[in-house]
Amino acid sequence: MTAAAAFAAALDKAQRTASPIRRLAPDATIGLGTAYAAQHALIARRLARGEHVVGVKLGFTSRAKAQQMGVSDVIIGTLTDAMRIDDGGTFDPRTAIHPRIEPEVAYLLGTDLDEVDADARGSASAIAAVAPALEIIDSRYRDFRFSLDDVVADNTSAAAFAIGQWADPAHAGDLGNRGVRLEIDGRPVQTGSTAAVLGHPHRAITAARRLAAAHGFALSAGMVLLAGAATAAVPVPARGCIEAVVTGLGRVSVRVDRNERISDA
């Protein structure tokens, strides 16, 4: 078994059993090549159990968060249908280790990204729709502590996501500096701006295309792209309603309840 396959097996078991593991190589650097190979092997395990890839997500799109982690580039992960929660649907926190949630902007790709120009105008033309989103992240490592390589192998801590009502990009207007609010049971817990996402969330399209080409990801028409967090992530409560509001774009919510599960994967 290769190192990447062994890492994938350990991370897959940690996710399925909601049991944290130690870092993959605490005293060494495994390298981004091995980390992305481990992520692909991890997703291959999920696909073999019947899941389907529905999109990708970016991580470290906030300059402050990137600086905090000591990284200089964004990272990319995979979304499957088993991670998807309907708007207003339920997430059971017992399916995760130490879940956190953050508000994002989601894009629906209208064409394969390798068929559009690489500049900002061409990338924008690939957007079929845009929506507010919530992403639940859950590092499979103890104490939510990891290196860049660790988190890449762990599929960028992806756990679940929900998307609000899709809007026509032409009607949504410029999303470069929209107010964002994260609420739990109607109480604001984080506020921010879409500008926190790479300075403008549309830049996520170009970044995703570059990373996909470098690390072997498909970006096909009909896929979802989560552009990155617009505020800091907050711990998911045992129960309650979590809602994200993006000014002029809409809102999306997830109900947290320990009595229901989003997936048996």
Side-chain-side CA neighbours of 45 within 13 Å: the count stands at 21
Read off the pLDDT band of 214 (50, 70, 90). Answer: very high
Q: Which single residue is written with the structure tokens 């410029």?
A: 174
Rounded Cα–Cα distance for residues 146 and 149 (Å): 8
Q: Amino acid identity of 140?
A: R
Q: Kindly write down the DSSP assignment for every residue of 121-184, as one continuous string.
A: HHHHTTEEEEEEEEEEE--SBGGG---HHHHHHTGGGEEEEEE---B-HHHH---TT-EEEEEE
Would you give the DSSP letter of residue 7?
H
Nearest to 246 by CA among 102, 101, 132, 129: 132
Across 223-245, average pLDDT? 96
Q: 63: pLDDT confidence band, cut at 50, 70 and 90?
A: confident
Task: Give the CATH number of domain 3-256.
Answer: 3.90.850.10
Q: How is the beta sheet containing 240-246 ordered, strand by strand?
A: 90-91, 250-256, 240-246, 179-184, 187-193
Q: Which of 122, 123, 130 is nearest to 175 (CA)?
A: 130
The HSE-up count of residue 203 (CA atoms within 13 Å, CB side) is 15
User: In angstroms, rounded to a whole number, what is the distance separating the alpha carbons of residues 231 and 54?
Assistant: 24
Across the range 20-39, mean pLDDT stands at 90
Q: Where are the domains of the chain?
A: 3-256
Mean pLDDT value across residues 84-100: 97
Q: What's the average model confidence in pLDDT over 112-139?
A: 80
Task: Look at residue 121 in the predicted model and tell me its pLDDT.
Answer: 54
pLDDT tens digits, 170-213 = 999 999 999 999 999 999 999 999 999 999 999 999 999 999 99
